[in-house]
Structure 1
């Protein structure tokens, strides 16, 4: 399992793609997306997106449906065409076409999947239920980390935060299958209901796997006991955002002394790190709790906890009973979804994920216009110039820190569209004679070993952390890189036929957002080479933190649902990036005009079109359960607040729409904050 501090534009890594090279023109601003019955000064999000929301009601298979999901659906249809074209060819055994085609077809074969039931995991569960002794447990945990699940903790390899040219192994807290510690430790009515549903889900899985009712009840109690113990010690969401607190390198010899509940030699040999000398412990407090569990759990408790991790990880690739049980908890209970995705979409997503770059290579060849990459190169350069201007204009920052900021800005490593070199999947075997689960498990192992093999080696900066067909973008502080996959270079983000105001308000803000991540409360702690290194003067750091705290409190005051508030400190990095992205993109847009004001289009000035374009990116509908879930786990603010809360700090927005004191969108000048 890989843990990379990737700071992305969207709330999820949504695979989607560009339109075909033969396209229907998309308007820059679709007037039917507006709701002009709402005053822009009352609620700009509703004004800019209300029409879209009415046209696109929530579908049963979605907890949130927005612009990203529309693009995802479009992409799924395009990838489906690619897969069906592959199916018409006679694929060479071992070829990418064979692997994609067979994996996709196995996911579609409901008859076989339902006939097999729990059989694909029977041998694995049998081995788990016979475990005895530290050595056997250590080997099993290593095997599970190498394949499909992360009991107790996760292992990964990434750039050393303080020596970014070299890769280092890392230990990261995991083992809580509900994902967030608050589900276990916060004792309110909503979380109690979720814990009860989780207990029932665990029992259901064990029963489907052949356990008696009594054994399933006991196993469920054990799973909750173990995961709650981890959660009580786990770092909070806010603590996880502190890169200094997450840097605790020790030798393997020191690890063995501090955590003797596991046979680390057996574990590392099994997982694929047999020559490991040192490791970064991301959360020492959590490691201590995990060690205590490893030493005190009975053998049967250990077996039951590991068995659940096996069954839960396998469930999406087994019979409908397993799939539906998993959907009922993780999607219906936690997110509010009403209906599972069609089987073809689920099968497509698995094949697309397992062989992502291979699919991406075919996808780019069919759908990605090369002129988009050329235009992006120029836009990125324009945004870099604008951000440099913003750095120079900061009255609170010293010349010394400004010079370092410029060095970092000029050192950005930019990736656009797709990798220069495609990944080799020849070492992955997809065999239709074996079960769907067995093939996905082998693919997961292939992916883990692909990552872990880099331990102790120089960092490969050409490596991509998103596939080309993904609608998203990211900043990676350890390599000081910004990446814009091909998938995001399409409307509403990037539109060849639209005016510059629309493109700067769309993809321009995305570019500015990722650049600003290099200077948000996390990213600013890394230098131009990607090292965790304080390049700020103490006075400048104090001034930055003062302004960041104002922004955090603005978002803390937002009520997202009923009495639940947004978490402005958890979302601070993304909010700084939204704020900075908007300001820098607007400056780059105004620079591009060379003093010549464009004529209004459809009655909207250029500045108005810039802000309407930005708002369109976040058009969407969302269920109440998903609001609560995302507020708990997502470092991005909800779409409504990525519009309304971000814009309330920007002077040019107020001028563009003549928003005045007394309007709900208005924020007094003395309460506005400028960070970048």
Structure 2
């Protein structure tokens, strides 16, 4: 999905769709997908950003030892600034406003953004730094075929708007001609298979990932697609806001059809038909909530079984078409969807499918076509869905696309310039401090049996840690990039990743692979690998400050580490064992007590009012809320293990107070109403404000630090508080 909310996950490059889905569900912040089908995992409001210190590693050691002096000190410039606070509000009345009110006032929403938080400040710095890297590349001559030359050519082709405008829709014409030439449903199915390598998945997609019950092997997965809006709820909801979006979406479809040459009346009629087709697809699509259950999306089949499930579709021809003639056993994420989709393909007239494909093709390539197409796309996905006032500058969009197509190539340059080797080792030591703290907390749990505790500790000890950048970089030698055609470069990148993905099916998992690039400001947990991953770019403010005290650093980067560790034990991650297999290793009574606690936490978050009568979705965001609460508790324990006990106040704040202020600050955020509503429907993360309020209201140490009393908004009666990890 782009910063405007454009592309649902199902329309991304299929080689990464499932991995990105898992990352989205178990990362620190939402992965915001941009309007490119290549695997661009950089992000805005949470993921992607930086002002790097080359001596960063020196400060990481300080987090394991007290670094405070006893003279007068101030937090300003060292992790927290009192000016970021609003001390006219009592901490117990609204801790988000108390901790972040000053920051919000001083950081109004830029017109190009639908949300702007502490992550975004770092993101803006990241864009500037990568821009400097690109500028250095473009001013030098590099060997033909080098990663520098490919980066420069990709970027140059995207910035050559004169050439893009001159070509008009010519790059799209071969695809439109193929649609016009379709004579039968068999032709249609053949085209759908061939187009998946271009990054087009109009009805369903394929990806490769570890077998969830045999994590050592990669298998193929089939997943639902077919929608132009973010998910099924956008079609099925009937409130006034949803009806308005539906009407504007139909107008968007008609607008694109007019750009393709149709008369307004004809375009409007076809837009109604296309929308009705998508609404029908939405009706048999699996909900986001159901997709959070790993067992519901794990349905292993062979070719014969899939044919029996959805006989109207020629599945053998499909696998031949994607050049995977012997798929072996594979996973069908949504069997009911595949059955209904196959029936729909057979039932709908070919003429309707042709118009459906034409619309989806121009919409998917809107970023690589003349500005009239991109501007129309932004009007709907940017303004209507997310509330952005203006489109991001082209250099930012093209730079991000380049960093998506050549992610680890850009990462190599980034690491060389901004990430010192010694930082990796020092970060590993900090992670071990958090691992020890979680082990202590597991050992002290009153609700878990010794048998399950023992297995939980085994899983914790088995977590693999990846810091900074991959040990082995991706080879881009077979990816052809020229300075002449932006459209073709995107298609080439899609083909490259699709072929790379298919080459891994039914082969052992390469455990050195990363799901994020080094320049991404985010972190994630991968349950099938039982690994936590921290790209280089996150090891900087607001998560880590070289000369801040331990309390501030543990409140930020420490919580990030604890958050990702907790994902291994959230409502989804806990269902995977220590080697990453979907496997029930819990005692039944322990699982029942865990579920009772998580239901209470989900109910708490569902009480938050997002806007007017719209409530937060505590069930959809449960995994992230568990990880936020767990990360907070784990990092607090780690801090207490590190402190000596004689630390002074700074700016009048105790270490505990600085810790909780630091935690709150990483979720400081201004956000538009449209984006609040969109994220409530599509995001597994709570809004920033509730990531402050929700966990803190369940943390006894917070009550003591800020003297929270009964009657305060931040106060929950002790018997209503939830402590899981």
Which residue of structure 1 aligns with residue 674 of structure 2? 625
Distance across 2 between alignment mates of 1:20 and 1:269: 51
2:366 aligns with 315
- 1:8 equivalent to 2:40? Answer no
Please, which moves more after superposition, 144-153 or 10-19?
10-19
Instruction: Tell me by how many angstroms 1:287 deviates.
Output: 1.4
**Structure 2 residues without counterparts, runs of 5 or longer:** 1-13, 32-42, 60-75
> 1:148·1:314 contact (CA, 8 Å) conserved in 2?
no
Query: 2:207 aligned with 1:153, yes or no?
Result: no
**Deviating 4+ runs (over 4 angstroms):** 22-25
Q: Are 2:500 and 1:485 equivalent residues in the alignment?
A: no
Q: 1:216 and 1:265 mapped to 2: Cα distance?
A: 35
Asked whether 1:578 is paired with 2:628, we answer yes
8 A Cα contact 1:150 1:309, kept in partner: no
Q: 2:271 aligns with which of 220, 232, 239?
A: 220
| Cα pair 1:159 1:478 within 8 Å, conserved | yes
Within 5 Å, give how 1:162-177 maps onto structure 2.
Answer: 162-177=213-228
Could you report, residue by residue, the CA deviation over 1:193-229 in whole angstroms, capped at 9, with x for unpaired residues?
A: 1011111111111111223334422331232122111
* Structure 2 SS opposite 1:90: coil
CA-to-aligned-CA distance 1:447-496 (integer Å, 9 cap, x gap): 12212211100011110000001000000000000000001000110112
Q: Deviations over 1:543-572 (max 9, x none)?
A: 000000000000111111111000000000
Q: How does 1:347-496 map to 2 (within 5 A)?
A: 347-433=398-484, 435-496=485-546
CA distance in 1, matches of 2:369, 2:270: 21
Match of 2:560 in 1: 510
Render the CA deviation track for 1:513-551: whole Å, top value 9, x for unaligned: 000000000000000010000001111110000000000
Q: What is the Cα deviation at residue 412 of structure 1?
A: 0.1
Alignment partner for residue 266 of structure 1, among 317, 332, 343? 317
Write out per-residue CA displacement over residues 341-400 of structure 1, whole angstroms, 9 at most, x where no aligned residue: 011111111111110100000001001133332221111101111111111111111111
- 1:185 corresponds in structure 2 to 236
Where do 1:543-622 residues align within 5 Å?
A: 543-593=593-643, 595-622=644-671
CA contact (8 A) 1:134 1:261 kept: no
Q: Which moved more, 1:95-104 or 1:605-614?
A: 95-104
Deviations 1:384-433 (A, max 9, x none): 11111111111111111111101100000110000011111011001233
Q: Report the equivalent of 1:89.
A: 140
Alpha-carbon shift at residue 134 of structure 1 (Å): 3.2
Cα shift readout 1:173-195 (whole Å, capped 9, x = no counterpart) = 11111021110011111111101
Does the aligned pair in 2 maintain the 1:17–1:486 contact within 8 Å? Answer: no
The verdict on how the C-alpha distance between 1:272 and 1:495 changes in structure 2, with shifts beyond 3 A counting, is: farther
- How far 1:18 sits from its partner (Å)? 5.1
Q: Does 1:21 align with 2:40?
A: no
Alpha carbons 2:157, 2:482 under 8 Å: kept: no
Which of residues 645, 656, 666 in structure 1 aligns to 2:715? Answer: 666
Kept in 1: contact 2:698–2:716 (CA 8 A): yes
In structure 1, what is the Cα distance between the partners aligned to 2:499 and 2:122? 32
CA contact (8 A) 2:94 2:713 kept: yes
Distance 2:396 2:53 in 1: 20
Structure 1: where are the runs of 5+ without partners? none
Q: Counterparts of 2:287 and 2:162 in 1: how far apart (Å)? A: 44
Q: Is the 8 A contact 2:696 2:702 kept in 1?
A: yes
SS of aligned partner of 2:18: coil
Partner SS state of residue 470, structure 1? coil
Map Cα deviations across residues 99-140 of structure 1 (whole Å, 9 max, x no partner).
Answer: 111111111112222222211101111111211223321221
Q: Which residue of 1 aligns with 2:36?
A: none
- Report the count of equivalent residues: 674
Cα RMSD, aligned residues only: 1.4
**d(CA) in 2 for partners of 1:147, 1:262:** 21
Alignment of 1:271-286 (within 5 A): 271-286=322-337
1:67 paired with 2:118, answer yes
Q: Which moved more, 1:483-492 or 1:266-275?
A: 266-275
Partners of 1:337 and 1:297 in 2: CA distance: 36
Decide which moves more: 306-315 or 563-572: 306-315
Question: Counterparts in 2 of 1:100-179, with a 5 A limit?
Answer: 100-179=151-230
Secondary structure of the equivalent of 1:170? strand
Equivalent residue for 1:531? 581
Secondary structure at the counterpart of residue 365 of structure 2: helix
Alpha-carbon deviation of 1:22?
7.1
Q: SS where residue 467 of structure 2 aligns?
A: strand
Equivalent in the alignment of 2:691: 642
For the 8 Å contact 2:51–2:129, the answer to whether it is kept is no
Which deviates more from structure 2 when the two are superposed, residues 451-460 or residues 462-471? 451-460
Task: State the secondary structure of the residue aligned to 1:246.
Answer: coil
Question: Structure 1, residues 259-304: CA drift from partner, whole Å, max 9, x if none?
Answer: 2333223322222322212221111221122111111111111111
Larger mean CA deviation between 303-312 and 499-508 belongs to 303-312
Secondary structure, counterpart of 1:3 in structure 2:
helix
1:206 corresponds to 2:239: no
Distance across 2 between alignment mates of 1:106 and 1:643: 43
Distance 2:190 2:483 in 1: 28
Distance 2:174 2:312 in 1: 26
Q: Is the CA contact (8 Å cut-off) linking 2:554 and 2:635 kept in structure 1?
A: yes
Distance in 1, matches of 2:415 and 2:97, equals 35
**1:297 and 2:348 matched:** yes
